[in-house]
Amino acid sequence: MCRSLGLPVGGDSSGSFRRCAVETLRDILDGAAHGVFPPPDGRTTVVPQLSRRDAGVLNFTAHAVVFLDEDPDWVYAQLGRVDCDMYSAPTHPAFLAALLAHTGRTAETVDAMLLAQPREGELPLPLREITDAGHPRVAYARKRRDDVRVWRADGGVLVLGRGIGGRLEVSVEVDESVRGRGLGRQLVDAARYLAGEPVWAQVAPGNARSQRAFQAAGYVPVGSELLMLSTG
């Protein structure tokens, strides 16, 4: 059962939990993919992991989701120790460091979550599917996703796979020699034609070039996330 903290961080947590209308991480992601987001009520919802590999924190507008196989009371206790408001606590370095230390997991960065709906029609550029696992982008994806498929274009690579909660995630890589010509935008646009369902992307906030490419291809920001990776 998911539980939510509804008081300012550091307040008395007694009576602050409520039964949630959505029960799983998959429910939350499916809802967001169709424009139905958690209520902007300042709460943090804790739900179980859907796989041993994936744990972490999602942040939507004024609502956070911690997906972790841990007692929710422990999670809320860590939030209560953070010296900031309830909206900022789930992404505060002290809270994230406590999660990582407690679980023994590692993390890279807090990414922006972007989302696009599928498209029908002709691909915006020629692609050929490949099975070569030697490309660094492909190797990276296979550590974090299932059912990975890869397409090659002249000057770039497009990768689709099942990531957090089984959602379909896209990543691309453009050769240095052809960057700045719009190929990245074409590749992430092509993912929408290949997908047949909503497509998610995680982009570092400071990666302005990638942010522009995804948004120019119709991807919209819906929140942020920290993925905590298992070291086992």
Write out pLDDT tens, residues 124-178: 999 999 887 677 777 778 888 999 999 999 999 999 999 999 999 999 999 988 8
Q: Is residue 157 one of the residues assigned to a domain?
A: yes
pLDDT at res. 134: 73
Q: Supply the pTM of this predicted model.
A: 0.87
CB 96 within 8 A of CB 106: no
Indicate whether 100 and 138 sit together in one domain.
no
DSSP 92-151: -HHHHHHHHHHHT-EEEEEEEEEEE----S--SS--EEE----SHHHHHHHHH-EEEEEE
Q: Is residue 30 one of the residues assigned to a domain?
A: yes
pLDDT at res. 8: 33
Could you tell me the residue range of the domain that residue 78 belongs to? 3-104
Indicate whether 218 and 155 sit together in one domain.
yes
Indicate whether 91 and 12 sit together in one domain.
yes
pLDDT at res. 133: 65
Residue where a domain terminates, one of 66, 82, 104: 104
CA dihedral sign of residues 191, 197, 198, 203: negative
pLDDT at res. 142: 81
Query: Helix, strand, coil proportions of the chain in percent (round to 5)?
Result: 30, 30, 40
DSSP state of 75: H
User: Token pair for residue 167?
Assistant: 């959602």
User: Token pair for residue 80?
Assistant: 């209560």
Indicate whether 196 and 128 sit together in one domain.
yes
Residue where a domain terminates, one of 71, 104, 137: 104
pLDDT over 80 (residue 48): yes
pLDDT over 70 (residue 111): yes
Residue 174's CATH number: 3.40.630.30
Write out pLDDT tens, residues 178-201: 888 999 999 999 999 999 999 999
Indicate whether 154 and 205 sit together in one domain.
yes
Number of structural domains found in the chain? 2
User: Token pair for residue 37?
Assistant: 């987001």
Residue where a domain terminates, one of 75, 104, 133: 104
Average pLDDT over residues 97-114: 96
CB 145 within 8 A of CB 162: yes
pLDDT at res. 200: 98
C-alpha–C-alpha distance, residues 57 and 228, integer Å: 8
Q: Is residue 146 one of the residues assigned to a domain?
A: yes
